[in-house]
Structure 1
Amino acid sequence: MIRTVLSLAAASLAMPAAAAEVQVTSQGPVVELAVTETVKAKPDIADVSAGVTTQAATAVEAMRANAAAMDRVVQRIRSLGIAPADIQTTGINLGAQYDYDQQTQRQVFRGYQASNRVSVTLRDVKRTGPVLDALVAAGATDIGGPSFSIDDDTAPRAQARQAAFRKAQAQATEYARWAGYNGVRLLSIDEAVNPVRPMPYAEARAASMDAKSTPVEPGLVGTSVTVAVTFEMTR
């Protein structure tokens, strides 16, 4: 994404500082650019979720049955070597259930439904398929994910930042030359880091993954950085 604004008169640009506002005065026209660059990399984190839903005649029975079922799922997760810090309960719900009687046109109470859900962070994406299968085998009735990400995206973020700035500088220099100026001088810079997002990736599954497990393709995730810069055109 590129946004360009050319000013043919001298401009005064404000740059924020920690303690005070600094005024930077330009003597020539300015060019403002907003450039976004994305760097793709293999994910090393997979987030999945598993839920259990139970029904019973009373609220107490529904919660007890749900607790027992979820305990089996959590114990299975722990047996797979998942660290306690990577297991988190994300929702517990209990509600009355009704059926609609067409003849009487009234709601008919039929019991209670309880649900419990946990999220699990996997630090080996190749285990995603087998772990999902293990959760279902342990009694999970609802599976979510996977969502892939990079645990430490410092390196790809730095690459995206550098690429965005270099592109912005090159484009500003082009504008300056087209306008009859020799170069540019940096006046301000601002950065926005965008969330990682999945990217298509055609690599086959790892050979070590059990062929009988649920197939999971981790693909690539992209780290995006948007750099907004202002340059003064110089002679």
Structure 2
Amino acid sequence: MIYGHHGMADPRNWEIVKMFKRMFLISFMVIVIGGLMALPAAAQNDDDSNRNNGTITVTGQGSAVGLPDTAYVEMGAESRNSSIRAAFAESNETVQAIIAALEELGIAREDIRTTGLNIYRDYYGSSPMSMSMDDDNNDMYIVNNNVRVVVRDTDLIADVINVAVDAGANQIYGLSFGISDTAELESEARADAIADARVRANELADLTGLTLGSVVRVVEFGGGHFHPMLQGGNMMADGMGSGAIVEPGTMTVGISVEVTFNTSG
């Protein structure tokens, strides 16, 4: 503070201080009011941005069809005898003959695997309506010996079944097919699924007046799941005609993808 000659404050200095205070208050009010006026505009811009920049999420389906190159055959021999040792020996002999016949046909030993060995007692024998459970003379022992054969040349499927039956196999439990290398089919199905997702997303964007943008997220589901489409697949026992008749048909691998796209509009 500035004092005059007699130690008193100069009135002119007080006026200067008051002027600066008024200018400061006016500037502060201008800043505050300007900020409050800008808030609705900023909120409006955020709303416009949210409306103009969204996403669309769709699921695409893709598939590819291929020819099986591998077959799996479940087969076996069932033996019945009143002596458990005799039934077991007969079953073993038959299975050994089956394996030898398959190896002679060109099936590798490592592609033949035992899948079941069952021994049980049949109290009724061959005539359940006329036999009594208390009659030990009617007891029969049954032995089932089953093997699973991997056939890596589908042209040999019928021959595999026929030579096994000729060697004594009297049980065919199942026949299924597979493809050893699915990578190429999976890639084809994946590309098909992505293309399907883009078509669906474009349709949704057109219906809602939006413009489809870039992909921001992809999730894959169900890769490598096969759906057999068998053609024929009939098998005939040797005693019923000319032996096994097998058609491998085709197999389909399906893939699903979930794709999220950016949108604008």
Shorter-normalised TM-score: what interval?
0.7 to 0.9
Percent identical among aligned pairs is 26
Residue of structure 2 in register with 1:77 after alignment: 102
Query: Which residues of 2 match residues 183-198 of structure 1 at below 5 A?
Result: 183-191=212-220, 192-198=222-228
Q: 1:201 to 1:233 in 2, by over 3 A?
A: farther
- Partner Cα separation in structure 2 for residue 68 and residue 75 of structure 1: 11
Can you give the 5+ residue segments of structure 2 that lack an aligned partner in the other structure?
A: 1-49, 233-241
Distance 1:147 1:103, change over 3 A: closer
Q: Report the count of equivalent residues.
A: 202
> Does the 8 Å CA contact 2:182/2:224 hold for their aligned counterparts?
no
Q: Could you state the TM-score of these two structures normalised by the residue count of structure 1?
A: 0.76
Amino acid paired to 1:31: I
Partner amino acid, structure 1, of 2:250: L
Instruction: Quickly say closer, same or farther: Cα 1:30–1:64, change in 2 above 3 A.
Output: same
Q: Which residue of 2 aligns with 1:173?
A: 202
From 234, 242, 245, give the equivalent of 1:215. 245
Higher strand fraction: Structure 1 or Structure 2?
1
Residue 67 (structure 2) pairs with residue 42 (structure 1): yes
Question: Residues 163 and 104 from structure 1, CA distance in 2 versus in 1: closer, same or farther, beyond 3 angstroms?
Answer: closer
TM-score (norm 2): 0.68
SS in 2 for 1:215: coil
**Code of the aligned partner of 1:96:** R
Correspondence for 1:233? 263
Q: For residues 199 and 71 of structure 1, do their structure 2 counterparts lie closer, same or farther at Cα, with a shift above 3 Å needed? A: same
Q: Return the alpha-carbon distance in structure 1 between the equivalents of residues 131 and 167 of structure 2.
A: 41
Q: Tell me which structure has the larger Cα radius of gyration.
A: 2
**What does residue 140 of structure 2 align with?**
111
Match of 1:133 among 123, 148, 162: 162
Q: Quote the Cα distance in structure 1 between the aligned partners of 2:65 and 2:94.
A: 40
Query: How far is 1:228 from its partner?
Result: 2.2
Code of the aligned partner of 2:96? D
User: In angstroms, what is the RMSD of aligned CA positions?
Assistant: 2.7
Give the Cα–Cα distance (whole angstroms) in 2 for the partners of residues 38 and 232 of structure 1: 26
Give 1:167's aligned amino acid: D
What amino acid is the match of 2:263?
M
Instruction: Output the CA distance in 2 between the equivalents of 1:51 and 1:163.
Output: 42
Q: Counterpart of 1:97? A: 122
CA contact (8 A) 1:133 1:214 kept: yes
Are the aligned partners of 1:62 and 1:112 in contact in 2 as well (CA < 8 Å)? yes
Within 2, Cα distance between the matches of 1:215 and 1:101? 35
- Pair 78,173 (structure 1): closer, same or farther in 2 beyond 3 Å: same
- Please give the secondary structure, in 1, of the residue aligned with 2:209: coil
Whose helix fraction is larger, Structure 1's or Structure 2's? 2
Residue in structure 2 matched with residue 16 of structure 1 by the alignment: none
Q: 1:63 corresponds to which residue?
A: 88
Return closer, same or farther for 1:104/1:73 CA change in 2, 3 Å cut-off. closer
The alpha carbon displacement at 1:30 in A equals 3.5
Letter in 1 for 2:123: Y
Which runs of 5 or more structure 1 residues have no equivalent in the other structure?
A: 1-24, 203-211
CA contact (8 A) 1:50 1:140 kept: yes
Q: Which residue of 2 aligns with 1:33?
A: 58
Instruction: Give 1:65 shift.
Output: 1.6
Amino acid at match of 1:219: G
